[in-house]
């Protein structure tokens, strides 16, 4: 059991949280849920120590409540914020594992807002970087540097094209080169898992986009090739909280 009097309380309002949790457990209700979002994930993103104190109860509720699942997923997205609750986050290991399982089951039912739940799952799995940046591949750009000649390369994966280019402020994306998607059988690790999940759930656009994201790009300047996801991750990896 959480001793709420011991939970750091930067906004001075976390004392409401146990009563709000009691309320959603007993009767639900939009007002109580709104109150919990305000306390635990303000504006859908800002987490506080109480967020992680409440996480195990939210995950338990998540077995029957999509609202609880959504709030728990959004809290996990904030795990790398400067929330001052690393000790509480560490205690959430079991809850995060249960959350992963529940989110995975929810994805299998192909819910509306699939990508949002998919990104929640990535966060619950500790893939905070991809959780933060993954788009739906209708209009996605990744900016990174060629690992060989250091020129800035713009990678586009969208309906209008899948290419690497040199972005010019006036002329747009110049010197375009077609991306080379990874053959799905060659995917490993996180890329493999993300791809397999998307295929399982009939998310064709997401699955196809992932083969490009985890595939190779050619540098328009020096003609060397590199794996997009690896370079993008290396350049943008947040400091892991572990
Ligand atoms: Zn280059």
pLDDT in tens, the chain (242 residues): 778 888 887 778 788 999 999 999 998 889 999 999 999 999 888 999 999 999 999 999 999 999 999 999 999 999 988 988 898 899 999 999 999 999 999 999 999 999 999 999 999 999 998 998 999 999 999 999 999 999 999 999 999 899 999 999 999 999 999 999 999 999 999 999 999 999 999 999 999 999 999 999 999 999 999 999 999 888 877 654 43
224 CA → ligand 1 middle, Å: 6
154 CA → ligand 1 middle, Å: 12
Which residue ranges make up each domain of the chain?
A: 4-116, 139-236
237 CA → ligand 1 middle, Å: 21
The pLDDT score that the predictor gives to residue 239 is: 55
207 CA → ligand 1 middle, Å: 27
Cβ atoms of 78 and 132 within 8 Å: the answer is: no
93 CA → ligand 1 middle, Å: 41
What is the three-state SS of the chain? CCCHHHCCCCCCCHHHHHHHHHHHHHCCCHHHHHHHHHHHCECCCECCHHHHHHHHHHHHHCCCCHHHHHHHHHHHHCCCCCCCCHHHHHCCHHHHHHHHHHHHHHHHCCCCCHHHHHHHHHHHCCCHHHHHHCCCCCEEEEEEECCCCCCEEEEEEECCEEEEEEEECCCEEEEEEECECCCHHHCCHHHHHHHHHHHHCCCHHHHHHHHHHCCEEECCCCCCEEEHHHHHHHHHCCCCCC
Query: Rounded to whole angstroms, how far apart are CA atoms 17 and 234?
Result: 38
161 CA → ligand 1 middle, Å: 20
The total number of residues shown for the chain amounts to: 242
226 CA → ligand 1 middle, Å: 9
The pLDDT score that the predictor gives to residue 10 is: 75
Full-model pTM = 0.90
The pLDDT score that the predictor gives to residue 241 is: 44
Which conformational region is residue 110 in: left (phi greater than 0), alpha (psi within -120 to 50 degrees), or beta?
left
């Amino acid at each position: 059991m959480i001793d709420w009097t011991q939970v750091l309380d930067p906004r001075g309002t976390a004392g409401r949280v146990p009563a709000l949790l009691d309320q959603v457990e007993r009767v639900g209700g939009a007002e109580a849920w709104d109150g919990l979002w305000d306390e635990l994930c303000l504006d859908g993103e800002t987490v506080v120590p109480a967020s992680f104190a409440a996480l195990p109860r939210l995950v338990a509720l998540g077995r029957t409540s999509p609202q609880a699942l959504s709030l728990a997923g959004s809290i996990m997205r904030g795990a790398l914020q400067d929330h001052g609750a690393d000790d509480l986050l560490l205690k959430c290991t079991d809850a995060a594992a249960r959350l992963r399982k529940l989110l995975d089951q929810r994805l299998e039912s192909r819910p509306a807002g699939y990508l949002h739940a998919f990104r929640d799952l990535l966060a619950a799995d500790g893939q905070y970087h991809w959780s933060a940046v993954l788009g739906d591949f209708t209009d996605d750009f990744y900016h990174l540097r060629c690992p060989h000649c250091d020129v800035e390369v713009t990678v586009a994966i969208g309906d209008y094209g899948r290419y690497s280019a040199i972005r010019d402020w006036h002329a747009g994306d110049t010197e375009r080169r077609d991306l080379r998607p990874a053959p799905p059988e060659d995917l490993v690790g996180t890329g493999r898992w993300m791809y397999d999940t998307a295929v399982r759930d009939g998310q064709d656009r997401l699955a196809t986009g992932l083969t490009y994201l985890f595939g190779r790009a050619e540098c328009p300047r020096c003609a060397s090739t590199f794996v997009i996801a690896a370079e993008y991750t290396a350049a943008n990896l947040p400091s892991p909280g572990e």
